[in-house]
Structure 1
Amino acid sequence: MTTTANRADHSPRLDTILMVEEFIKENSGEYKKTELWNNLPKKMMYQTFMKIIDYLISSNKIGADAEGYIIWIYNPELYKKYAAREDLRIR
């Protein structure tokens, strides 16, 4: 039986998520997952790191190239530019 404490063991805090986001933005395309984890400014459990990576992928903030390097892809300004175009609206 899993207790509440066990389920929350690897739940990342907001400051940790933001730290990983910022590190990826600054180092986009330089590291694969394990290298990225090893070079973070603050150490964390790999399971916690993977939850953050899964979240960032599902929210379309990061992606990986063909070789597995993690890349920051989120660009809200570009989204706003194209979202405002009438000819690109979903009908």
Structure 2
Amino acid sequence: MPAEAEKRTGYHSPTLDSIKMVENFIRENSGEFKKTALCKELPKQMMYQTFMQIIDYLHESDKIAFDSEDHVCWIYNPEVVKYYNNREDLRIK
């Protein structure tokens, strides 16, 4: 559990469907919203604490980043990950 989320009380653990919904929304609207506005624009509403737990997870897993004005930006590129995962010279022997 992210350290910041551990400090919060009364939050609900996000479901996989909720995580995917937030991921897809951020991917489709990368750089358009700050966290609060993004939470309000989601297709389905959720508790802000749950939303923040998802944001913490996505940030720690390097799927999102925040620009200089705190807009949420999608940065994960599965093609790059696949490329490096398939390189034999990068394998631990």
**TM-score using structure 1 length:** 0.80
Which ranges of structure 2 fall in alignment gaps of 5 or more residues?
1-8
Matches within 5 A, 1:55-66: 55-66=57-68
Confirm whether residue 14 of structure 1 aligns to residue 11 of structure 2: no
Deviation at 1:80, TM superposition (A): 2.9
Distance in structure 2 (CA, Å) of the matches to 1:66 and 1:9? 28
**Moved runs in structure 1, 4+ residues, more than 4 A?**
none
1:35-62: CA deviations, max 9, x gaps?
1001001000000000000000011110
- 1:42 equivalent in structure 2: 44
Which ranges of structure 1 fall in alignment gaps of 5 or more residues?
1-6
Q: Do the aligned partners of residues 64 and 9 (structure 1) sit closer, same or farther apart at CA in structure 2, a change above 3 Å counting?
A: closer
Percentage of pairs with the same residue: 58
Deviation at 1:85, TM superposition (A): 8.1
**TM-score using structure 2 length:** 0.78
Distance in structure 1 (CA, Å) of the matches to 2:35 and 2:66? 9
AA partner of residue 70 (structure 1): V
Instruction: Report which of the two structures shows the higher radius of gyration computed on alpha carbons.
Output: 1
